[in-house]
Structure 1
Amino acid sequence: MSSMPGGKAIVDTLLKEDVNHVFGLIGSAGMEIFDALHGTPEIRFIGVRDERTGTHMADGYARAANRAGVIIAGQNGPGATNLVTGLAQAAAAYSPVIALAGSLSSGHVYRDAFQEVDQQALLRPVTKKTWTATQARRLPEMVHEAFRTALAPRRGPVALNLPRDILAEVVDFDDGPSGWRGELAPAADVDSIARAALFLAGSARPLILAGGGVKNGRCHKVVLQLAELLHAPVVMSPGHGDAIPCGHPLYAGQMGPRGNLVATDLARRADVILAIGTRIGFNTTFYSHHNLNPHATIIQVETDPLALGRFMPIALGLFGDAGTVTAQLCRELAGHTATHAMRWREDFQRKRAALLKTRDEDGARVTTPLQPATLFKILRDISPEDSMFTMDAGTLCLQATDQMRYAQPPSLFTPLDFGLVGFSYACGLGVKLACPTRTVVSLMGDGGFGMTMSEIGTAVMHGINSICVVMNNGCWGAEKAYQRDFFGGRYIGADVSNPPYDKVAELFGAAGFQVDEAAQLEPALQAALVCGKPAIIDVQIDPNALYSFRRDSFKHRDPKK
């Protein structure tokens, strides 16, 4: 045992959890934690400009590093309320973010004290679990429990509220209960594996639908081994187009309303669909069979038993880890020769090649104002093989999600489950810290970047050299598309007036580039890649290049009215 303030005990416990990056915004309620971090060079503290964007950084870091991301809100009240949006995003993405929130002194609770808010009630709906510390001596135990909870299947964010008097209290600490967590990779039962193998072996049109469980489990190699055994194309749920490397001949891209037509057509025609590590949920299906063959035999593999058959009827549910169950299926099907599926595979590959050719032809058409397809083609051509892309919500990013080259998983980070505008740039800073040797490109609309551009200062201060491409069309594109298509072009609140973002970047000390026409784009991207600074590229995009993604939501509207 040793005597120390509660704040120092928390930092010591973070060290025991092998934490090497912490994001946060200082505040008086958490000063003992920050003072302890000052004396702990093993942990790099990234001071942010807003707790929301700091949480997005922790989220991106967690997804890219495959470990917990830590965010500290040093101020009770406003500091904690700012966490809510970031934690809700992390919860929707099953991202293991740990929020340590400074809280009101215990003796001031329920007295209308300065900056008082019920943080326990506030954070509970957007986390996997929320605690409030009540004894200084138990702080190490609670921090270990936060990590254990965040990282246990199914992963998700947690919040620990830390009253300032408990952080300041000096007591004798031991390490508390062990922070040990086993690597949980449950296997499916033998009989279910045998049944699944029979379905797959008899399929003439097999399809693998890979979701977040494949990406987060880093198990693309075994998934591809099974795909090759079956001659099964691999489609991915939206937001997980990087579940397998895009260069593989069975890679089909993302399916469904936010995917591409070739991948979606596969899902509409497949006779057996093996859904690995996916809920087969909203973004994949919009809860309908419009993009999924209603007569297909669906085998679903999920580590969450409650997800099996929850949204779509299935023939067989396999409760288990995506990689472990896939390896079981490979062993069960060893020696299988799927000659009857060769025509299916070859037909897919012809259509996929035609799709890629069409995309490149569309992107090669140089027009002013610049079209999204041109930007996407140049990004595909210029971005290094190791590139990691972060996306925002909004019409331009939704158009981009299936267009990039995801060569080295993981390489795509999106807010699709929560649809959050203002996510991408901050997320990219966290991704870059997790993978400092890889290229990180963040795509954002101009509205979303305006929400979060203060974090350019964080990037400059800490030398986080990501590239942000601002697709600037001067409007809230998704909503303007709906107003155009379903509300007779009666625009209100749709247009956005922006400063020159390249100049804003330069004022912060970053590299800024302005692109008004296609010929300027490639030189700007090349310069951003080698500038050795955080880079912002302000690209002027055709404001009419809008698309209504959720047309189903406006079936009740007559577009002529």
Structure 2
Amino acid sequence: MNATTSPAPRTGARILVDTLLANGVTRAFGVPGESYLDVLDALADTKVEFVVCRQESGAAMMAEASGKLTGRPGICFVTRGPGSTNASAGVHIAQQDSTPMILFVGQISRSMRGREAFQEVDYRAVFGPLAKWAVEIDEAARIPEIVSRAFRVALQGRPGPVVIALPEDVLSEIAAVPDAPAVEPAETWPGLADMMRLQRLLWAAKRPVMILGGTRWNEKAVAAVTRFAERFDLPVAVSFRRQMLFPADHACFAGDIGFSVNPKLVARLKEADLVILAGGRLGEVPSQGYSLFGIPDPGVPFVHVHADPDELGRVYQPTLAINASSGAFAAALEGVQPPQELAWRAWREAARADYLAWTEEPPANAGPVQMATLVRYLRGLPKDTVICNGAGNFAIWVHRFHRFRAYGTQLAPTSGSMGYGLPAAVAAKIADPARTAVAVCGDGDFLMTGQEFATAVQYGAAIVAVVVDNGMYGTIRMHQEREYPARVFGTTLRNPDFAAYARAFGGFGATVETDAQFVPALDAAFAAGVPAIVHVKLDPEAITPTTSLSALREKALAARPAG
């Protein structure tokens, strides 16, 4: 359109869809609602794939997973009231995981505001503290402006979710407004002086460690950091559920700092004389309850690299604060030169040896089914396999013992949200049907969003979901036995036949009750060519890789005062 051409009048819904198309959106997730029928009608005339989900939390989690995989905002549409509150779980994940995402919510007509109309919600008030930005559009003519801003807010600095409320009458309103240009996020580059100061800190170090975390990474950036680690022979750890940021089979990889962290890695981080944190925030889990370093003075030369200046010094006051996106910082590392002699080769070799010893082979667990068999199977899958999980003790086996070897292969919520693994795997498989996608789920975890198995079947997303069933909310039971030993209350589950559940939806189902059944069941699930569930009946005693439930209980009872 040239400067003299007047834009054609369009409905607000059509303006919205055209803005999404201008920003390269090809897929959206959602549950249909009458509050945004005009948008659905406008989408019907495009090639945008609208993935119809079975519950809004699953839809929002799929959109969040899409944002993690692509680095572009995952798009989700839900209806007003309960539709939006159901989706809030996915918004919270996106906020804590720094994932770009835009949630569009149908809203009552503008003329009905303030009357507590049917399913009326003040979205600014509800989502304001939960999202990076929450806004309601009041005029169809402002849709290009506000949606473009939403893309920029979701992508720039520390990425996050944006919630946009869409009043019904705004969607049907006619306006003549030009389209906005596509949004490309600004890259924040580190200054030359910052990189030279980083080089001087490295030259002065004897025991340096690098920690990778957060977002704004891509395959090219990970490769650049890997080259940097090789040139400096630098031990590299990754933050909680960010294991795809550095190849586990590389000699510089030292492990992850999440739950069930290697005690030797914790000790090494405390012994370090230089810590470089790139991209991450060092929140509660990776900081081991904020005990790893001092606050506000970390007590060690500390370099913090982050795309959002507000995160620099928020908790830890760094020796060197570098305001840069992860990708830009990784590229700038090419100019940092190592000293003539590296003083820490033995330090890096010991870090690697500690990692290998900690993760080589899962120990035997109680019962006839061994989680080690699952780990060995996962390790044998293609390098680009996407491993997804939600929350629960079952995930410790995956995080500690599986070897993530490539970027874009881990979908797991740092927020610890249950129910994430299944919808994340569905989103990954729909995005790239040629890639293998596996969801490792707990029994309670799976049924938080288990209905999205129907979505997998509907869209031919041949995921494999491994449901580890120990008949309880295992993580909560573990804490219960520590705090109130032998007083079990509110944590026991009576589960369905998950294999039959899969078959009821038109998928493949198999049950594993002995270790000998494990590999044949997994082989059959992958060969089925349809969405599959492998129901693994794990002994309740196998509460973690290193302890049993009864041993945990006995230890807690022994520690209680007499009488």
TM-score (norm 1): 0.91
The answer to whether 1:436 aligns with 2:461 is: no
- 43-52 or 220-229, which deviates more: 220-229
Partner of 1:375 in structure 2?
374
Partner of 1:478 in structure 2?
475
The answer to whether 1:15 aligns with 2:21 is: yes
| Gapped regions of structure 2 (runs ≥ 5) | 1-6, 547-555
Letter in 2 for 1:89: I
1:17 CA displacement: 1.1
Report matched runs for 1:46-445 at 5 Å: 46-73=51-78, 75-175=79-179, 177-181=180-184, 183-213=185-215, 215=217, 218-255=220-257, 257-290=259-292, 295-333=299-337, 336-357=339-360, 359=361, 362=363, 365=364, 368-380=367-379, 382-416=380-414, 418-445=415-442
1:281 CA displacement: 2.0
Give aligned pairs, total.
Answer: 544
| Inter-CA distance 403–113: structure 2 relative to 1 (3 Å threshold) | same
CA distance in 2, matches of 1:26, 1:370: 42
Match of 2:444 among 444, 447, 453: 447
1:559 CA displacement: 4.9
1:205 CA displacement: 1.7
2:176 partner SS: strand
Identity %: 30
CA distance in 2, matches of 1:132, 1:273: 43
Partner of 2:4 in structure 1?
none
The answer to whether the Cα contact below 8 Å between 1:256 and 1:291 also exists between their aligned partners in 2 is no
Letter in 1 for 2:131: T
- 5-14 or 497-506, which deviates more: 5-14
Partner of 2:3 in structure 1?
none
* Cα distance per residue 1:103-133 (max 9 Å; x no partner): 0011111123222222232122211111111
CA distance in 1, matches of 2:216, 2:166: 35
The answer to whether the Cα contact below 8 Å between 2:373 and 2:518 also exists between their aligned partners in 1 is no
CA distance in 1, matches of 2:65, 2:177: 33
TM-score (norm 2): 0.91
1:536 partner SS: strand
CA distance in 2, matches of 1:258, 1:172: 57
2:400 partner SS: coil
Partner of 1:528 in structure 2?
525
Partner of 2:492 in structure 1?
495
| Inter-CA distance 297–505: structure 2 relative to 1 (3 Å threshold) | same
CA distance in 1, matches of 2:25, 2:525: 31
Letter in 1 for 2:28: V
* Cα distance per residue 1:471-498 (max 9 Å; x no partner): 1111000110111122122111111011
| Inter-CA distance 503–541: structure 2 relative to 1 (3 Å threshold) | same
- 121-130 or 391-400, which deviates more: 391-400
CA distance in 2, matches of 1:497, 1:35: 43
* Cα distance per residue 1:456-515 (max 9 Å; x no partner): 111111111211111111100011011112212211111101101110010001111111
CA distance in 2, matches of 1:453, 1:493: 21
The answer to whether the Cα contact below 8 Å between 1:485 and 1:559 also exists between their aligned partners in 2 is no
Letter in 2 for 1:528: A
CA distance in 2, matches of 1:291, 1:375: 35
Letter in 1 for 2:116: D
1:282 partner SS: coil
The answer to whether the Cα contact below 8 Å between 2:216 and 2:325 also exists between their aligned partners in 1 is no
1:244 CA displacement: 1.1
The answer to whether the Cα contact below 8 Å between 1:65 and 1:435 also exists between their aligned partners in 2 is no
CA distance in 2, matches of 1:303, 1:522: 44
| Inter-CA distance 117–347: structure 2 relative to 1 (3 Å threshold) | closer
CA RMSD in angstroms comes to 2.4
1:82 partner SS: helix
The answer to whether the Cα contact below 8 Å between 2:366 and 2:539 also exists between their aligned partners in 1 is no
- 263-272 or 400-409, which deviates more: 263-272
